[in-house]
Amino acid sequence: MDVFDITGGNRLRGKVQIGGSKNAALPIMAASLLLEGETILHNVPDLQDVRLMADLLGRLGVNVKRIEPNILRLRVEDESNCHAEYELVSQMRASVCVMGPLLGKRRTARVSMPGGCAIGVRPIDLHIHGCQALGADYDLVNGDVLLKAKKLVGGDIFLGGPFGSSVTATENILMAAVLSEGTTTIECAACEPEVADLANFLIACGARISGHGTPRITVEGVESLHGVEYHVIPDRIEAGTFMVAAALTNGELDLLGARIDHLVAVTDALKRIGVHVRRTSDGINVAAARRIEPLEITTQPYPGFPTDLQAQIMVLLALADGNSILTEKIYPDRFLHVMELNRMGAQIRKEGPTVIIEGVKRLVGAPVMASDLRASAALVLGGLIAKGTTKVQRVYHIDRGYEKIEEKLQAVGADIRRSKGA
């Protein structure tokens, strides 16, 4: 397993090209199951999770081919297999996104119930509830969710759960509804830009959708959908991660292709901390502040502060002039990075879904263990600013969601090297 060796203290300065959004590309790839003909997707990042989704779609009869570094061609060639098996689903939760399109197009979906993961319990009760509301019969068979429907009829569906809206449940029900009869209204829909991007992709394929990006999405069912050439939105979480990197290292970065309108809550938080953030003609410019002000942050569904940047902003607050409070409202246990950061000298105390972060003068390099995708990114950020050397182990977690992160960091001055671990 690869490791990163990072020597902290370098200021990051220069330009970083932000890649395509992992969390938009994955459901859009799954939506290819709904289509007749060929689809070309641009700006698809070359990530482990994208390769896993391509493998899964291949087993479901979709021919997926990377025809250029960031361009995929997808074409459905065989609709006989409707079973997304445990072996693949257990490796990537986003596999659950094949449930809606399999049901919507083939009227049958058998998807292994995803297990939990490092960031917490990951139920899919809302996904099942939405499919049943469209007329599907549900059964649990040997750990697999089995959904069947003679026909799917649109209706009013409430998709709110104990933690608010659900991103992939909204995406699944959207994909199940586009070929259903009649009108479907999804109430308490997720508003994330990735959901809106999926809807825009489906509209380009001939779907009739309105309200995407708001809590109420309306779908008018159509007979069929055709392939299309489409450009995936940039990755706001990768962009946010580099925004924190610039702020942490007393540097300045131009994030090319980043969309500041997808990062309003993050920009607001960074400005309150004292960081300079401004829109440029080709993205976002971020420049460090002299002082890092403490802050109180709570993660929320979009447009609130994203849970996927909680670990990263925690590193910045660990070095603030004062105490900060960070509450995690989406995944209350998403704090595996806290103990690792404390091993680097941070003073962070967990009180249930909240952490109290006592600002310290510096972090000190240490061997640390990555646990999940975004926690791993936070440990890399910690290494960039820590005194001495930090060894981040199990970087395969990072490779799931960041394309060549060490090369992008090296290009703007970071002292980071990947080596083959034991």
Write the DSSP assignment of 385-402 as a string of letters: HSBSEEEEE-THHHHTT-
Nearer to ligand EPZ, 97 or 255 (CB): 97
CB 169 → ligand EPZ: shortest distance, Å? Answer: 5
Rounded Cα distance between 385 and 179, Å, is: 51
CB-nearer residue toward ligand EPZ: 197 or 254: 197
383: nearest Cα among 270, 250, 249: 249
Minimum Å gap between C-beta 354 and ligand EPZ is 16
Cβ closest to ligand EPZ, residue 69 vs residue 162: 162
Q: Is 117 assigned a catalytic role?
A: yes
Residues in CB range of 60: below 8 A, 6 or more apart: 33, 81, 82, 84, 98, 102
Q: Which residue in the set 32, 180, 241, 307 belongs to the binding site for ligand EPZ (CB under 6 A)?
A: 307
172 lies in the site for ligand EPZ, by CB under 6 A: no
**Side chain identity, residue 54:** A
Alpha helices (H) in 71-144, listed in sequence order = 86-89, 99-106, 125-133
The number of C-alpha atoms within 13 Å of 67 and in the hemisphere containing its C-beta is: 12
Nearest-5° angle of CA 103, CA 189, CA 131? 20
125 binds ligand EPZ (CB under 6 A): yes
Shortest Å distance, C-beta 168 to ligand EPZ: 3
Residues 6+ apart with CB under 8 A from 145: 99, 109, 110, 111, 112, 113, 124, 127, 128, 138
Near ligand EPZ in 23-52, by CB under 6 A? 23, 26
Q: Does position 284 bind ligand EPZ by CB under 6 A?
A: no
Assess contact for 262 and 193: CB atoms under 8 A. yes
- Among the options 82, 97, 117, 205, which is catalytic? 117
Q: How many residues bind ligand EPZ (CB under 6 A)?
A: 27
Q: 225, exposed or middle or buried, with CB in 10 Å at 0-12, 13-18, 19+?
A: buried
Residue of 13, 59, 122, 148 interacting with ligand EPZ (CB under 6 A): 122
> Residue 86, interface with ligand EPZ (CB under 6 A)?
no
Binding mask 234-273 for ligand EPZ (x = CB under 6 A): ----------------------------------------
- In the complex, the smallest distance separating the C-beta of residue 124 from ligand EPZ, rounded to whole angstroms, is 5
Burial of 94 (0-12, 13-18, 19+ CB in 10 A): buried
Dist. CA 312–CA 238, nearest whole Å: 11
C-alpha to C-alpha distance for 124 and 101, rounded to whole angstroms: 16
Residues 129 to 168 in contact with ligand EPZ, rule: CB under 6 A: 161-163, 166-168
Binding mask 381-400 for ligand EPZ (x = CB under 6 A): --------------------
Rule CB under 6 A: say whether 94 interacts with ligand EPZ.
Answer: yes
x/- letters, 313..342, toward ligand EPZ (CB under 6 A): -----------------xx-----------
* Angle at 84 (CA atoms; ends 82, 87), nearest 5 degrees: 150
- Cite the active site residues: 117
Report the interface residues with ligand EPZ, using CB under 6 A. Answer: 23, 26, 93-94, 121-127, 161-163, 166-169, 190, 194, 307-308, 330-331, 373-374, 401
